[in-house]
Structure 1
């Protein structure tokens, strides 16, 4: 209800809305309106109240809370149920627990800060308080476990399109799960699965997005390889709720297209957006280096590299230069 109230106040812009108008539109009592207004104020929203005029929103903090997201989100399932925390070890940890408790598909877990954020191969993910977006999505697709890696590629497409729509910045995909902006990492994706033999119980997709960090916010070892939306937009501060809403709406679009039409539309779009396709690269695996032209990906998300001798080599996991 607070999300709906916030939506009304945001849409009215500089106009006052009377307590009775809000009461009528939300079908709640004027006492309930006042209580919700007070809760929003406690969360940092400046809401002006003038006798015989009503309420007007004067200031919105840069939050990615349940109320803020729900006031803007236009989806049927993805993000309709939100678990918001100020601080967690990792949103993945909370999401896995919720899976075991029967959380519905589309549930997202979002936190202002992670103390033990994690990326691919167990690497730590630097998750600053209130500067980025750290969230996990719970999915329950009726697909075989062996095709689950396709959802990592789907996520990359949704994140790229969501970020580009929200910011107009030239976001690109780097195989297997990095999102780049002008050659530096802007986001990462981690996909983890709960399965039983030939059946998927759930897939938890973790996404970390650098939004409003500045260069001094990154540890020295990351400053050369990581960036943020704000840094690449000359210091512009982005409303975090706008960014996540854009990503979630794109996610729902591609997820239901995938369930309806299969992987081919995702594969085609991923190859259009990937910075590596058609270029000469070096793939560094645990055992060797493979050099050649990145030709595309298979339905399993395997990278195909054509070497100088003309042969194709499949690369399942590697760092790309």
Structure 2
């Protein structure tokens, strides 16, 4: 007989807060200790936190939360954003799921959420750590009536929306690293990825992917990521309600998007510049054309970074990796 996670889970759930010995589990399920341990690891991958103590056994000390569409709808204060929502347990990427819905004619504001992504991705093709039940992994559909050249404006809008919403919920001091990375004490807490489809130089739709590391612990990060990433839980010292945070992000995003559609980019530009950690500091930008050294001075009306070069000439940059300039 093989152990199924639900069967093992039911044994642990029978005695909340108490240890269940490995011997008892082994006898009741007729399996080896090795098989038990493998199933414990599967439960941990689903978001359960299980304590294992020699001669005492196993007990659940933290259960994963689940995002409920009903609960989210109840907490929403938006008009359209998130009103059409799909919640999945596991997907390759919420970007892929929502792009299919967009091609089928899904309305603006459609939201796809996943408890876990196994191929989550960020800017520059990087993978994104998105374990089950611990973060916000979602994609939002926009159908803006703007030229394709203005897509960078929407990238900055997304960064400002997440910054304002997360600061309001957590009380953390969050900065924006150009163009849309949110940082706490120099460590990344979110990933934002915009993918668009266009026709005749006008945007058909934009899929805004948002990954927020909410309740991850240090052990959830691979070693190569741990030094430069942090979760909101680690930064503010408490667990956060993911559904509440999603509702706040959608409200802020919808409000700023309405301002953008009514009045243009200027308000968004000023809000972004006020939160930037890069402006007026010597910087190195790595672009597809090579290395640029200069001092970012602001954002152009199209959403590009304006960089002051040696000799006080100005250059606009639309896409680059940005880092402090260390001589």
TM-score normalised to the size of structure 2?
0.77
Who is 1:225 aligned against? 228
2:195 is equivalent to residue 192 of structure 1: yes
TM-superposed deviation, 1:314: 2.0
Which of 259, 263, 284 lines up with 1:261 in the alignment? 263
Contact 1:63 1:239 in 2 (8 A): no
Write the distance in 1 (CA, Å) between the matches of 2:285 and 2:199: 33
2:108 is equivalent to residue 105 of structure 1: yes
Who is 2:88 aligned against? 85
Regions of 4+ moved over 3 Å: none
Contact 1:85 1:111 in 2 (8 A): yes
Residues 267-282 of structure 1: matches in 2 within 5 Å?
Answer: 267-282=269-284
Write the distance in 2 (CA, Å) between the matches of 1:148 and 1:316: 10
Contact 1:303 1:314 in 2 (8 A): yes
Q: Map Cα deviations across residues 95-121 of structure 1 (whole Å, 9 max, x no partner).
A: 000011111110100000001001112
Write the distance in 2 (CA, Å) between the matches of 1:69 and 1:244: 8
Contact 2:152 2:304 in 1 (8 A): no
Residues 141-290 of structure 1: matches in 2 within 5 Å?
Answer: 141-234=144-237, 236-290=238-292
Name structure 2 gaps, 5 residues minimum.
Answer: 1-62
- CA separation of 1:282 and 1:83: change in aligned 2, threshold 3 A: same
Which of 99, 121, 124 lines up with 1:121 in the alignment? 124
Q: Give the number of equivalent residue pairs.
A: 261
Contact 1:139 1:203 in 2 (8 A): yes
Who is 2:320 aligned against? 318
Name structure 1 gaps, 5 residues minimum.
Answer: 1-59
Write the distance in 2 (CA, Å) between the matches of 1:104 and 1:111: 19
Write the distance in 2 (CA, Å) between the matches of 1:140 and 1:314: 26
Contact 2:306 2:317 in 1 (8 A): yes
Greater CA drift, 276-285 or 60-69: 60-69
State the secondary structure of the residue aligned to 2:193: strand
Write the distance in 2 (CA, Å) between the matches of 1:198 and 1:288: 27
RMSD: 1.4
Which of 299, 302, 305 lines up with 2:304 in the alignment? 302
Greater CA drift, 283-292 or 112-121: 283-292
Who is 2:33 aligned against? none
Write the distance in 2 (CA, Å) between the matches of 1:308 and 1:142: 38
